[in-house]
Chains A and B, each alone.
Chain A
Amino acid sequence: MTVSAILSVAIALLLSMAMFMVTINVSKMTQNIEGQLELQVSLSPGLSDDKKESLEKEIQSVSGVGSVTFSSKNQELDKLISENGEMFARYKDANPLYDIYLVEVNPLNTLEDVSDTISTMDGVVEVNYGGGAITRIIDVFSSARLGGLLITVGLMFLGVFLIRNTITMTISTREDEISIMRTVGAYNFYIQMPFILEGISIGFYGALIPTVLVSSVYSWLYYESGGKLVSDIFSMVPPWPMLGYVVAGVFAVGIILGMSGSWLAVRKQIRKVR
């Protein structure tokens, strides 16, 4: 009986832990994308410092705009050279690039609006960003994150239900003992305690299986793939210390599930008779 209870808890926790790991990683990837998403506002050449300053203030006042950073065309060229090689060094004498403002946008779904507003401003040549595809990816990722969390929570409830059912079966064989205990005046907590302890141990052993399994599979995946899928943007969360927290969380959840499941079951049994 106990074995089947442990297994059912283990399965519920395994699924929710796996789901949670996916969610964490999707979340991280979303952050990566968001972090790299900024509007690049190119300024008309020869704009006076005063004009630049007032333009910066104007951009800053648009709703949805986070930080605004200035980067001169020389800085931009240096970045180009360091990212793409010395062959760009020959432009040093006649730099064809623009001075730019890097504009962070928050929330990201206002990206297009903000971009439209800024591009009509005086002194702005053009506004660049990744385009519609990026915003769509972000939408998909945030729904995936929400879905993942919902499924995780749902599976936890399933866990409570499974434990409650299994303990109910265990208890029905001890129905006589419980009713005799009530007859001789045992307090409810005295009757419940052994079952709750049993629930805790079911939760503990039920958490052991999924934590070992998911931790090893995740670590293997991480080191095998070098920590990223396809490109840097889709990088995985490093196993340590994240797995430590997740494992501790799964044990806590398992124990709470076990406790509440058996508490519900034994409570029902005690309530059966007055």
Chain B
Amino acid sequence: MISLSHVSKLFPKGVHALNHVDLNIDDGEFVYVIGATGSGKSTLVRILNAEEVPDTGTVLVNGIDVGKLKHRKIPKYRRQIGCIFQDYRLLPSLTVYENIAFAMEVVGASRKEIKQRVAEVLDLVDLKEKARSYPDELSGGQQQRVTIGRAIANHPSVLIADEPTGNLDPEKSREIMDLLEKINQTYGTTIIMVTHDSTIVDEYKKRTIMLEGGFVVHDFAKGGYKSL
């Protein structure tokens, strides 16, 4: 359960702000956050990920007051949150297998657990045969699937995807969307996807939250750009 009440964030230049945002997202929901550049989408993601602290209001994720987390408490919180970025953020010196295993090593999983889970994840993201490849040997879509694999390796209850299809062509974007839907259904993972890809939003209809100038201007359960 994610709930934001009266959340505001103002940056010194007055941009990328959030204005009195009230939002509730239930467990297992799949939600789009859309809006133009500078509408506050990224700020919302960064606040959910505890990278930013809201100026006012409270952000509760699974009962944790995210804005009040101390720096050293953040890692534990992040283990419940998977993050997917537009620019992938993979470690270039590690193979696909190692990149996914890395996320589990970091949280102290045993070697046996890692071996088992990474195989499972590679199967899910359909990259079994690329396990020994390095990120720069992969296409953009494949790299994004590695990132998704890394994000879900530790069984997060929430997955935040910041423009996951931003760098991909429509066909590869569909692959990613199918994968995210599969994760949402298989694990019941709550997914918050920031995007400005209208084709995807219209094709895969989900609850759609539209931000403009930091305000929530639309929140439609039906979804799709056309319904706006």
Could you list which residues of chain A lie within 8 angstroms of chain B, going by C-beta atoms? 176-177, 179-188, 190, 270-271, 273-274
Contacts and interface: CB of A to CB of B under 8 A. Distances in A.
22 contacts: A176-B91, A177-B91, A179-B89, A180-B89, A180-B102, A182-B78, A184-B79, A184-B102, A184-B103, A184-B150, A185-B76, A185-B81, A185-B106, A186-B106, A186-B107, A187-B72, A188-B72, A190-B108, A273-B51, A274-B53, A274-B71, A274-B74
A120 B51 CA distance: 81
A185 B71 contact: no
Nearest to B50: A274
Q: Chain B at the A interface: mostly helix, strand, loop or mixed? A: mixed
Contacts of A180: 89, 91, 102
Interface in B51-109: 51-53, 71-72, 74-79, 81, 83, 89, 91, 102-103, 106-108
Interface of B: 49-53, 71-72, 74-79, 81, 83, 89, 91, 102-103, 106-108, 150, 154
B154 A184 contact: yes
A185 B81 CA distance: 9
A3 B55 CA distance: 45
Q: Chain A at the B interface: mostly helix, strand, loop or mixed? A: helix
Nearest to A189: B72
A80 to B, nearest CB: 75
Given A180-B91, A184-B154, 15 more contacts: A180-B89, A180-B102, A183-B78, A184-B78, A184-B79, A184-B102, A185-B103, A185-B154, A186-B106, A188-B71, A271-B71, A273-B51, A274-B53, A274-B71, A274-B74
A185 B78 contact: yes
B89 A182 contact: no
Contact of A185 (B51, B72, B75): B75
B43 to A, nearest CB: 13
Nearest to A274: B51
